[in-house]
């Protein structure tokens, strides 16, 4: 498989659990083992839009037990003889090779995936991607003192997680948060709507610097109404300790 693969460096690796959970899009080729009509193919593919159940393949890094995944769309781009060029959008953790096999079994003809390219991960697209050769060249230039090309490739972690809902905190609360303390209602200045309990949220300074990722212990409405209790349990700290003094 080729295509888009977000890579985090240094402190930004703490954001990988969030990035790994992003929806994916792929373009691939599914080879059918027998001839079927285009109408039958489209009708069968339509059955796999929405929630499906998959058992991970034998060679996988997760337990082989049934799990539910969502197929957002499955578009047939070209259909020539037994080869089907398709584009699919899906929930993270969906096995496209397995999906092709499931479609083939439903057709009664059998099918397998012959090519696959990941074209999108969340908001990351192929247009924003860089080849391994360009990354290697940028690294070599950086070693020689020229960081221009590397700066064109790297992006701040704040721009990598636009899908995560935001909470902004006072400067006076940041020092304790960077030491692992939770976020309390009186330390919050503004919040994004529709935050739910148990959801991962991003804690930002008033300068829109990423302070930490945390787990919401209250919904947005509760945070706005309550004056006591833990609003967010701090999970992963990004800002260096001591940047914001307590008395600031």
Of 126, 148, 179, the residue that ends a domain is 126
**179 within some domain:** yes
Domain of 22, CATH number, reads 3.30.70.3190
Angle at 122 between CA 116 and CA 123, to 5 degrees: 110
Contact 26, 117 (CB under 8 A): yes
Closest-CA residue to 232 (of 247, 245, 220): 220
Whether residues 24 and 114 share a domain: the answer is yes
Q: Which domain holds residue 117?
A: 12-126
Whether residues 102 and 197 share a domain: the answer is no
Whether residues 103 and 195 share a domain: the answer is no
DSSP 8-state symbol, 183: B
Q: What is the pLDDT of residues 36-73, one digit of tens each?
A: 999 999 999 999 999 999 988 877 777 788 999 999 99
Return the residue matching tokens 């924003």.
Answer: 128
**142 within some domain:** no
**247 within some domain:** no
Is the pLDDT confidence value at 242 over 60?
no
Burial label, 169 (beta-carbon count in 10 A; 0-12, 13-18, 19+): buried
**pTM, whole model, 2 decimals?**
0.82
**139 within some domain:** no
Number of structural domains (the chain) is: 2
Whether residues 174 and 118 share a domain: the answer is no
Contact 202, 167 (CB under 8 A): yes
Domain of 205, CATH number, reads 2.30.130.10
| Residue 243, pLDDT score | 55
Q: What is the rounded distance in angstroms from the CA atom of residue 137 to the CA atom of residue 149?
A: 8
**140 within some domain:** no
Of 74, 102, 126, the residue that ends a domain is 126
Using alpha carbons, list the distances in angstroms from residue 24 to 9, 68, 178, 205, 208. Answer: 21, 16, 32, 30, 27
Mean pLDDT of 101-105: 96
Residue 67 bridge partners (DSSP):
54
Of 126, 155, 187, the residue that ends a domain is 126
**230 within some domain:** yes
| Residue 93 parent element (H or E) | none
**109 within some domain:** yes
Whether residues 22 and 117 share a domain: the answer is yes
Q: What is the pLDDT of residues 121-177, one digit of tens each?
A: 998 999 889 999 999 999 999 999 999 999 989 988 888 888 899 999 999 999 999
Q: What is the rounded distance in angstroms from the CA atom of residue 189 to the CA atom of residue 212?
A: 16
Angle at 237 between CA 236 and CA 242, to 5 degrees: 160
Q: How many CB atoms lie within 10 A of CB 4?
A: 19
Whether residues 169 and 92 share a domain: the answer is no
Q: 3 or 241: which carries more pLDDT confidence?
A: 3
**132 within some domain:** no
Whether residues 115 and 191 share a domain: the answer is no
Whether residues 64 and 120 share a domain: the answer is yes
pLDDT confidence band for 247 (50 / 70 / 90): very low
Closest-CA residue to 86 (of 121, 46, 52, 59): 46
Which strand ranges, in their side-by-side order, compose the sheet holding 210-216?
188-191, 165-169, 200-204, 210-216, 232-237
Q: What is the pLDDT of residues 65-97, one digit of tens each?
A: 899 999 999 999 999 989 999 999 999 999 999
Whether residues 100 and 45 share a domain: the answer is yes
pLDDT confidence band for 241 (50 / 70 / 90): low
Q: What is the pLDDT of residues 178-234, one digit of tens each?
A: 998 999 988 899 898 889 999 999 999 999 899 999 999 999 888 888 778 899 999
């Amino acid at each position: 498989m080729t295509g888009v693969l977000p890579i985090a460096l240094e402190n930004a690796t703490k954001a990988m659990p969030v990035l790994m959970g992003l929806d994916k899009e792929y373009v691939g080729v599914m080879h059918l083992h027998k001839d079927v009509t285009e109408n039958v193919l489209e009708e069968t593919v339509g059955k796999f839009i929405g929630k499906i159940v998959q058992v991970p393949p034998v060679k996988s890094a997760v337990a082989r037990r049934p799990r539910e995944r969502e197929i957002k769309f499955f578009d047939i781009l070209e259909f020539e003889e037994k080869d089907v060029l398709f584009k699919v959008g899906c929930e993270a953790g969906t096995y496209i090779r397995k999906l092709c096999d499931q479609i083939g079994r439903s057709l009664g003809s059998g099918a397998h995936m012959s090519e696959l390219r990941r074209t999108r991960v969340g908001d990351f697209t192929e247009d924003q991607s860089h080849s391994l050769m360009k990354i290697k060249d940028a690294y070599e230039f950086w070693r020689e003192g020229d960081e221009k090309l590397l700066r064109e490739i790297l992006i701040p972690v704040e721009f990598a997680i636009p899908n995560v809902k935001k909470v902004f905190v006072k400067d006076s609360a940041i020092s304790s948060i960077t030491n692992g303390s939770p976020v309390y209602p009186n330390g919050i200045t503004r919040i994004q709507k529709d935050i739910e309990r148990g959801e991962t949220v991003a804690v930002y300074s008033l300068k829109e610097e990423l302070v930490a990722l945390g787990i919401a212990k209250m919904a947005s409405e509760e945070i706005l109404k309550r004056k006591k209790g833990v609003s967010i349990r701090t999970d992963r700290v990004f800002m260096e300790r001591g940047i914001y003094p307590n008395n600031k």
